[in-house]
Amino acid sequence: MKVYLDNAATTAMDDRVIEAMIPYMKEHYGNPSSVHSHGREVRSAIEKSRKKVAELLNASPSEIFFTSGGTEADNTAIVCGIHTHGIKHAITSPIEHHAVLHTLEECEKKGFIKLSKVEVDKYGALNLDHLQELLKSNPNSMVSIMHANNEIGNINDLDAIGNLSKEFGAFFHSDTVQTMGHYVHDLKSLPVDSIVAGGHKFHGPKGSGFLYVRKDKKITPFIYGGAQERNMRGGTENVIGIVGIAKALELAYEDMDGHRKHVEGLKSRFIDQLKECIPGVAFNGLSADLDKSLYTVLNVSLPPSEENSGMLLFNLDLHGISASGGSACSSSATVGSHVLRALGASAERDSVRFSFSRFNTADDIDYTVRVLKELYSVIA
């Protein structure tokens, strides 16, 4: 049996997304910058996609810029936001995705900014009082805090963070890669200045993404060389990716409540069975709290096992189960998880991130639990 439980890394493309993309691989191949009919029909598809994304997010089409994915969008918002608005100080958390963390650390290394990190507790929850202290001491900062953590699933309160940022004149950027397509984002009411998306996280194509920048917080381009994306991103557009990500987002919004109910049920089933079958099992961060974490992510901390230490992902793969994760420790083979280290997780335990999608089934969950039970030689 083959079971895919690594949906936080990437998801399977929806067949309807592929169908929407195919005409732009075959019949509609013009360059969207060309003025002839072949180019115009492709340009129309891009703008229809932009309008669709904007409508779903309650934003203006002029605020949506297509990119190669979430990493490029994060880099653009952060680097160009800092330069455009003359920002000298930035605030982030120690458990951000490396697309944010490494970018800000590089900006500090080059002398553009001074970087501060908000404290987190052993569950990865942000200390908002500390954030307020940092903002008081450093008004007009760049604040970059993710909506939800990709490893432990913790969901942050964007309204609280955004309102604090606004109070102290900060530019608030949020990496929303893990929540886009899974949660509603109303950008007219949400107090963010920029957010991002990667299409392959919600059943769209890899190599597709977008950046939202609020119209009153415009930034300069990150990539030069052409007038594409309203002079915001040089280079011929990835037309099939743009059509694909817009279609994927449309499908995600069509039955978001239904998808959530299905996936949340699978996660709850998994938690209950693991607790019953594996003594000593625990869960990293807030991932087992259905109200405070992504319904798509569960980070499991398993008791020390000589047979599985450092080999658990490999052993799962041998049984046809795809998952991801790692321990809090570092070795010559792996740098370990910076997120788990920030939480003070035990280096003696193996941690695995299981992440779910609407294409998963109860059979996937039951089989995975049986395999884990066998690997840990536990008799119920």
What tokens appear for 346 in the block? 């035990």
The residue from 80, 107, 277, 329 that is catalytic is: 329
Contacts of 313 (CB under 8 A, 6+ apart): 323, 324, 325, 326, 352
Q: Is the dihedral of CA 33, 34, 35, 37 positive or negative?
A: negative
Round to whole Å and give the CA distance between 283 and 307. Answer: 21
Catalytic site includes residue 277: no
Is residue 124 classed as helix, strand or coil in its secondary structure?
coil
Per-residue burial over 262-298, b if 16 or more Cβ lie within 10 Å, else e, is: bbeebbeebbebbeebbeebbbbbbbbeeebbbbbbb
**Residue 129, exposed/middle/buried by CB under 10 A (0-12, 13-18, 19+)?**
exposed
What tokens appear for 224 in the block? 């030069």
Please answer whether residues 250 and 274 qualify as being in contact, where contact means their C-beta atoms are separated by less than 8 angstroms. no
Is residue 164 classed as helix, strand or coil in its secondary structure?
helix
Residue (of 125, 129, 126, 192) closest to 159 by Cα position: 192
Helix-helix angle 362-375:256-277, to 10 degrees: 20
Please state, in angstroms and as integers, the Cα–Cα distance from residue 257 to each residue in 54, 251, 324, 345, following that order: 20, 12, 26, 33
Enzyme catalytic residues: 329
